[in-house]
Amino acid sequence: MKNILIIGGARSGKSHFAQELALKLGEPVLFVATAVAGDEEMRQRIEKHQQARPSAWSTLEVTTHVGSQISQKIGEAQVVIVDCITLLVSNILSQYSDQTGVPLIEQKLTSEINELVECINHTDASFIIVTNEVGLGLVPANRVGRLYRDLLGRVNQLLAQQVDEIYLMVAGLPVPIKPSRYFSL
């Protein structure tokens, strides 16, 4: 069992690399998609991702409560790809941003990630988790954008502590981050 975090910018090759790793780790594979087809462009992106996956893989499309839904659907899967945490955070932020303050959003998000971590820790399957690094660019101009960047950064830190390996995708190339041969934490 090996748990891996793949992090990078938009269109950096994260999903493709996750699929390559899954094929090397073995089958059966459960692919967990967190995207919502909110507009035509997103629908087309989802369709393109669906076509790129091997037909033998099981797919679970879920917007929240990812950990509990994986637990119900995992079956005999040896590998679980969660693609992606970025959209999961967006789903939760969208669900609660109009109704409540930041502390409740943070609580809901922490609960969501803890549920996923518990699922990871209570299965023998390998997990490959895909997420974006959004903290390297400009400071977002609006409050919700800054909140999203901060929340995703915290979630990425939590997940990084739980995995065995981390790869930063740069221009389609995986750069190993953890474990590091230069230092250990």
Task: List, for residues 128-152, the tens digit of each pLDDT value.
Answer: 999 999 988 888 899 889 999 999 9
- Of 143, 141, 138, 130, the C-alpha closest to 87 is 130
The verdict on residue 181 lying in a domain is: no
- Contacts for 120 with CB less than 8 Å, ≥ 6 apart: 3, 67, 127, 162
Sign of CA dihedral 1, 156, 41, 62: positive
The verdict on residue 29 lying in a domain is: yes
Percent of the chain with pLDDT over 70: 96
The verdict on residue 20 lying in a domain is: yes
For residue 149, give the 3-state DSSP assignment. helix
Query: What are the catalytic residues?
Result: 49
The verdict on residue 23 lying in a domain is: yes
The verdict on residue 180 lying in a domain is: no
Amino acid occupying residue 22: A
Number of independent structural domains in the chain: 1
- CATH number, domain with residue 81: 3.40.50.300
Is residue 151 within 8 Å of residue 106, measured between CB atoms? yes
| pTM exceeding the 0.85 threshold for the entire prediction | yes
Which residue segment(s) compose the domain that 94 sits in?
A: 7-175
Please tell me the predicted confidence (pLDDT) of residue 99.
Answer: 66
The verdict on residue 18 lying in a domain is: yes
The verdict on residue 137 lying in a domain is: yes
Q: How far apart are the first and last CA of the chain?
A: 22
The verdict on residue 55 lying in a domain is: yes
